[in-house]
Amino acid sequence: MANRKSGQKKPDQPLEGEALIKETNRRIRVAMGYWKAHNNRACRGERDKALLLYKQLTKEQKAKIPEQLKVWLRYRSEKYFGEHRTPPGTGRGKAKPIPGSNTQKKRNQRRRPRQSPD
Residue 87's pLDDT is: 65
Tell me, what amino acid is at 19?
A: A
Distance CA 69, CA 66 (A): 6
The per-residue pLDDT for 101 is 59
Separation of alpha carbons 74 and 86, rounded Å:
18
The pLDDT assigned to 1 comes to 47
Tens of pLDDT along the chain (118 residues)?
Answer: 455 555 545 656 777 788 899 999 999 999 999 989 998 888 888 988 999 999 999 999 999 999 999 888 887 766 666 666 666 666 655 555 566 656 555 556 666 666 777 6
User: What's the pTM?
Assistant: 0.59
User: What angle, rounded to 10 degrees, do the helices at 40-56 and 17-36 form?
Assistant: 160
Taking every pair of C-alpha atoms in the chain, what is the biggest distance, in angstroms?
91
Amino acid at position 32, single letter:
M
